[in-house]
């Protein structure tokens, strides 16, 4: 209990004192997570919509794999990305291993299935008649897409939040592909692991509060967007 209060005090102290290192780590965490979830959304949203609205051969198998992907353990994703990025691996020439880009790649791998699958589920519930009606109103394909996104805003934002939750909580893959390098790939979760292994529980706890605050802030913003006052 005392440790908890100490941690909270330390977190406030860190934030107020303008600890450059903590700021840098927090900013990097934010940047990496937001970029990952943005890319996951940009790919997963159209893909999920496509899967939700169309029927084709092999669709169900594809969906099965995506749903399995929702449970993909981050360390497995990390391992795959590591092997891909090894100097001796297929993308070795890019020398991306132990860079923020590598973390982004791993985080996309774990969040993309979530965004895709939840989006698909939402769009699958749109009836053929509704699609026909929207088309009949004079909508182009793109306009239909926009209307549907607006209609399913709540579900889409829920999908994005779920993906974001996965990404910001993730540590195994970030550790493996990022390497927890100070000033380069050290993000909040990996720092927490490191501080715990150093025995600095107070710092780890303080960082955990900062991490929670960041997660809270982003999720609150998304929830606010999602639950705007409905016209009755």
Partner 1 sequence: MNPLIQLKNITFKAQNKTILDIPEFQINAGEFLGIMGPNGAGKSTLLKVVSFLEQQTSGEILYLGQVIPIGNAPIELRRKFSIALQQSLLLDGTVFHNIAIGLTLRKISKAVINEKVEYWMELFGISHLAKKNALYLSGGEAQRVNLARAMIVEPEILFLDEPFSALDFPTKIKLMEDFKGIIETAQTTAVYVSHDLMEINYLTNRLAIIVNGEVKQSGPTPRVLEHPNSSTSSFLNEWKKFYPLAR
Partner 2 sequence: MLRKRYFAVLFAFMLLILSACGNTETKDAVAKEKKPAPKAAPTEMILATTTSTQDSGLLDVLIPMFEKENNVKVKTIAVGTGQALEMGTKGEADVLLVHAPASEKAVVDAGDAINYKRVMYNDFILVGPKDNPAGVSGDDIKAAFKKLADSKATFVSRGDDSGTHKKELGIWTADNIKPAGDWYVSTGQGMGQTLQVAAEKKGYVLTDRATWLAQEKNLDTLQIVVEGGKDLMNIYHVMQVNPEKHDKINSKDAEKFVEFMVNSKTQDVIESFGKKEYGQSLFYKYTE
Cβ pair 91, 189 in contact under 8 A:
no
**From partner 2, partner 1, none, interface partner of 147 (C-beta below 5 to 8 A by class):** partner 1
Which token pair is 218? 């982003």
Count CB atoms within 10 A of the CB of residue 133: 11
Q: Which is nearer to partner 1, 135 or 198 (CB)?
A: 135
Cβ pair 182, 100 in contact under 8 A:
no
CA distance 117 to 119: 5
Q: Which of 31, 59, 135, 228 binds partner 1 (CB under 8 A)?
A: 135
CA atoms within 13 A on the CB side of 5: 2
Q: Which is nearer to partner 2, 66 or 102 (CB)?
A: 102
CA distance 79 to 63: 23
Of residues 55-114, those binding partner 2 (CB under 8 A):
86-88, 92-93, 95, 97-98, 100
x/- map, 93-132, partner 1, by CB under 8 A: ------------------------------------xx-x
Instruction: Using CB under 8 A, list all residues that contact partner 2.
Output: 31, 34-35, 38, 86-88, 92-93, 95, 97-98, 100, 150, 179-182, 184, 194, 196-199, 201, 221, 225, 228-229, 231
């Amino acid at each position: 209990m005392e440790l908890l209060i100490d941690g909270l005090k330390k977190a406030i102290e860190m934030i107020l004192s303008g600890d450059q290192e903590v700021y840098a780590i927090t900013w990097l965490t934010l940047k990496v997570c937001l970029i990952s979830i943005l890319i996951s959304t940009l790919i997963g949203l159209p893909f999920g919509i496509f899967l939700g609205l169309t029927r084709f051969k092999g669709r169900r198998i594809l969906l099965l794999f995506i749903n399995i992907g929702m449970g993909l353990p981050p360390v497995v994703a990390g391992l795959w990305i590591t092997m891909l990025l090894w100097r001796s691996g297929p993308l070795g020439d890019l020398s991306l291993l132990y860079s923020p880009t590598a973390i982004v790649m791993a985080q996309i791998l774990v969040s993309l299935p979530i965004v895709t699958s939840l989006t698909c589920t939402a769009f699958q519930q749109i009836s053929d008649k509704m699609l026909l009606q929207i088309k009949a109103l004079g909508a182009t394909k793109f306009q239909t897409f926009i209307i549907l996104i607006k209609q399913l805003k709540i579900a889409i934002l829920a999908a994005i939040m779920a993906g974001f939750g996965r990404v910001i909580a993730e540590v195994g893959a970030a550790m493996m592909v990022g390497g927890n390098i100070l000033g380069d790939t050290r993000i909040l979760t990996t720092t927490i692991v490191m501080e715990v292994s150093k025995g600095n529980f107070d710092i780890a706890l303080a960082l955990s509060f900062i991490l929670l605050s960041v997660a809270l802030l982003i999720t609150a913003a998304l929830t606010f967007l999602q639950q705007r006052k409905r016209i009755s």
